Structures are given as structure tokens and as C-alpha cells.
Amino acid sequence: MKWEKAFERVDDHRWRIPKGTVECMRTDAVVFASEGMLPSIASDNAPLQAANVACLPGIVGDSLAMPDIHWGYGFPIGGVAAVDADHGYISPGGIGFDINCGVRLIRTDLRREDVSKHLDALMDALYLNVPSGLGSKGLKKLNDEELSKVLEYGSEWAVRNGYGWDRDLERTEEGGRMEGADPTHVSDRAKKRGIPQLGSLGSGNHFLEVDVVDEVFDEGAAKAFGLSEGMVTVTVHCGSRGCGHQIATDYLADMGKYVRDNDVRLPDPQLACAPLSSDIGARYFSAMSCGANYAWANRQMITHWVRESFEKVFSDSAESLGIEMVYDVAHNIAKKERHAWEGGSGDVLVHRKGATRAFAPGRPELPMAYRDVGQPVIVPGDMSTGTYVLVGAEGAMTQSFGSSCHGAGREMSRKQAVRTIRAGDVKREMRDRSIVLRSGSDASLVEEAPSAYKDLETVVDVVVGAGLTGKVARLTPIGVVKG
């Protein structure tokens, strides 16, 4: 299959893979992209995966893919699919192994010039205080009972235990806690992996970044989000560590068995799924919610250590330094939401796998401070180019079940990056851009090299051009901690 030929042009930002391209498709697949991005998108199996997702039982609307689409497990990364809340199927491959991998944006009252002379000390403090790297362990020793509370209460547990402030919860998607998260649906093995790792960044594409607000595009939204030009911000990208990974692994095995036992017809075994209303489907959703809560507690603890790091370096309190959360978004999760789409409306389960919720103004899920503005959408690029702050727009509600992109997206596979890039080149590039880098592993530097990623501007231009989001601000890195 020549996938570039399979794309039918809808407009400058939308390409349709029509129902029938893959035999079992129940609906079309629509990829948000510019024409120039199509060869890259068609260079791996991602378009086939977007088409395969259209075979998911109970899917409503189109199978969607964001412009940062690339090859994933079952679903493409960048994939969005909504299924009927009563009759639809839930698929762990539509959420991903790193359940509630997500991004948190924190603002400060500090300006670039306040931080530049202390930047090395700040990066040392952040590297010391926030555990990072493959197999990294948290600083808090948990027992089984505490871990169960983390799984059930998420960020609420963290704040209740001294990691952050009550108002942080309002600035977290879902309040940092999925309802219905029952720890008894999480295996002992997942719990065992989760206990030592809570409060750690991890490895891979996870990072902690200190940025400066470089350009503001929407003064009104930026003001509502507490952002202004020249301000120093911190971006945290991490997930549910080995705990979420084990939950995904456990339930993929169980759902594989469900699919075989019940003769569910799927184009790819990696799309293993079960009715949301079935015992196994409901148990997975509950366990996934536990994984999501773990990730929120994780980012909340890291937020606390970020505040402590600034307090130490700037000899002032986090309150008086204005270290406040802007927002925390999940980008690997399934959520029960009410939506309208072409041809219907109602309660659905939205799978977002490498895609961010991007609710337009007016949605009741948004905190009051953002209700009239829209949801902050935080879109990190590669480690050298920084992060975009976008805001959810009406187009997302009508076209993409309130969703947008989650990052630049990989251009090269990890293997390909290791083959063609050297750690020294990455370090030099960061130095040339005057970005202070703290990293424990040359291997992860190479896998996450800037040249292994797509161009963030191109990705953002598509979601803005398609009306899914609006541009608010661009953040440029001055310091990066890589796992």
C-alpha cells in the first residue's frame, strides 16, 4: 500500500483515508497534517494503524490522527478515537504503555535576567532534587497501603501529604484524580514496580525544562494563564513509570484472551479490546484510572521539589516567587466525556494516545479561571526548541472530540537515532544554543536528539490552521534535565 496515494485531500490541514481502504473499517480515518508532512507520515505504519483503529467496535465519528502521528503499539501515537459509552470497546493500545504520560507547566515571577546568573546552580538543584533516569527511584519510601492511596487519590494524595498546594489541583486536568480508580484491579506486580518509583522523572522522552516566555501571541489568554514575555517557566514531562507500564502489560494479555475467546474481529492483535461495559473492560478502565492517578501524584511531587529547588537557589519562598501551576494535561488516557460529532452526539469514551485534551471555552470540566478562555494545551518539542502553549478552540469540539496534538512527534525511530547521531553532537548543539543540560545517560541523549524529532512549528501550524487550538505563547529552553 502506497499510503501517500491513499490520502484524499479534505482541505489544507485534513486528509481522509476512506472507509474500505482496510476491509474492516467502520468509518473513515482522518489525519490532520499539511501536504508537506505526508511523505514523512506515510514512511511508517502509522497511516495503516489509523485505518485499523476505524475497525474498533463501537467507534463513533472518524478515527483521527494528529500531525505528530507516528508508529505506536496498535494505535498510532497521535491517535484519537471515541467509542460509544454504552456499546463501545476500550483498547489499552489506544492509551499506551505509559498511562497518563503528560505535561505540567509551572510559571514563576522570575525574569530571564533574574535566573541567568544562577542558572547552573538552579539546574544542579533540580537535577539533585528530582530523581531521573532509567530505573530511577523516588525519595519517599511508601508502604503498600500508601501506594493504594496514591492509586485511588492521585494528586489529592500528594497535596494532602505535603507535596504542593490545594490550588494546584484546580489547575490539573480532572483535578489530578480519576474517579472510580480501584487499586484492587491493579496487580501486585504493578504495585511492586510502582512503590519505589513514585516521585521520579524516568527516562526516554521525559524531561524537566526551564524556559523563558519568548513570544506571546494571545495577550488575553496569556494573562489568564499567568504568562508574560520574559517570564521564567518550568515544564515537566513524565508519566506513571513502571507501574502504568505493568498495568498496560497485564490488561493487554487479558484482553488478548478476551478477543480470542469471543471471536472479536480485529485487523491487528495489538488492538486487543473489550466492551467498556464488560467485566474486563470495566476493570481495565479502573486500573487505567489508578495508573493515571499515579502519574498525577508523580508530577505533583516533582512540582514540590521544583519549588524547593527555586527556594534554595533564590533564598525566597515559592509563594513569594510566584511559583504557580498553569496547567497539567494528560496525553495518554481514555476519558468519559459528552461530545457532538458529524452524525451524532452523546456520551463517549475518548481514547487519546499521544494527544491532548483541548477543550474550548465554556466546557464545565475547565477551572473557573479558564472557563471563558479555553483549556491550556501544553505542547513540548524537542529539547532544543522548547514548548508551545496553545488554547483549546471550538474546532476541537466539532472535529476532534476536544483534542489536539501532544508534541513534535518522532521523525526517527530510537534505533535509527542511535545509529546515526552521537551524544557529543547533541551536547554541542545544546551548548551552542546556550542551554544548560543535565543528563545521566548518553544513550537517552542520542535517542532524544533534536534531529530525531519533527519540526514543532509545522505541527503547531496544522492544529492552529485546522482550528483545533489557538497559539498563546512560545517558551524557549535555557535549561534541561534529561532522564
Partner DNA sequence: ATGTTC
Point out which residues bind DNA (CB under 7 A): 97-98, 101, 134-135, 189, 193, 197, 202-206, 238-239, 241-242, 245-246, 414, 443, 448, 483
Closest distance to DNA from the beta carbon of 242 (Å)? 3
Which residue, 219 or 442, has its beta carbon nearer to DNA?
Answer: 442
Which residue, 189 or 283, has its beta carbon nearer to DNA?
Answer: 189
Which residue, 242 or 376, has its beta carbon nearer to DNA?
Answer: 242
Residue 161 CB partners (closer than 8 Å, separation 6+): none
Closest distance to DNA from the beta carbon of 249 (Å)? 7
Catalytic position from the list 206, 245, 339, 406: 406
Closest distance to DNA from the beta carbon of 366 (Å)? 27
Closest distance to DNA from the beta carbon of 41 (Å)? 18
Closest distance to DNA from the beta carbon of 148 (Å)? 19
Which residue, 245 or 471, has its beta carbon nearer to DNA?
Answer: 245
Rounded to 10 degrees, the C-alpha dihedral 266/15/411/407 comes to -90
Closest distance to DNA from the beta carbon of 408 (Å)? 11
- b/e per residue 269-293 (b: at least 16 CB within 10 A): ebbbbbbbebebbbbbbbbbbbbbb
Estimate the crossing angle of helix 119-129 against helix 279-314, to 10 degrees.
Answer: 140
Closest distance to DNA from the beta carbon of 136 (Å)? 8
- Grid coordinates belonging to 464: 492552529
Which residue, 35 or 442, has its beta carbon nearer to DNA?
Answer: 442
Sign of CA dihedral 256, 259, 262, 267: negative
User: Pairing between strand 77-84 and 59-70?
Assistant: antiparallel
Which residue, 98 or 218, has its beta carbon nearer to DNA?
Answer: 98
Residue 357: closest CA among 157, 158, 181, 103 = 103
Residue 19: closest CA among 5, 7, 29 = 29
Q: How is residue 120 annotated by DSSP?
A: H
- Asked if 133 and 220 touch (Cβ cutoff 8 Å), the reply is no
Closest distance to DNA from the beta carbon of 70 (Å)? 10
Which residue, 22 or 295, has its beta carbon nearer to DNA?
Answer: 295
Beta bridge mates, 356: 404
Written as one letter, the residue type at 402 is G
Task: Measure the CA–CA gap between 168 and 338, rounded to whole angstroms.
Answer: 25
Task: Measure the CA–CA gap between 167 and 330, rounded to whole angstroms.
Answer: 18
Classified as helix, coil or strand, 63 is strand
Which residue, 108 or 384, has its beta carbon nearer to DNA?
Answer: 384
HSE toward the beta carbon, residue 194, CA cutoff 13 A? 34
- Asked if 22 and 52 touch (Cβ cutoff 8 Å), the reply is yes
The yes-or-no answer on residue 406 being catalytic is: yes
Beta strands in 265-410 (DSSP E): 274-275, 324-330, 332-341, 344-353, 356-357, 376-380, 387-392, 403-404
Task: Measure the CA–CA gap between 233 and 213, rounded to whole angstroms.
Answer: 7
- Grid coordinates belonging to 249: 502489560
Query: So which residues are the catalytic ones?
Result: 406
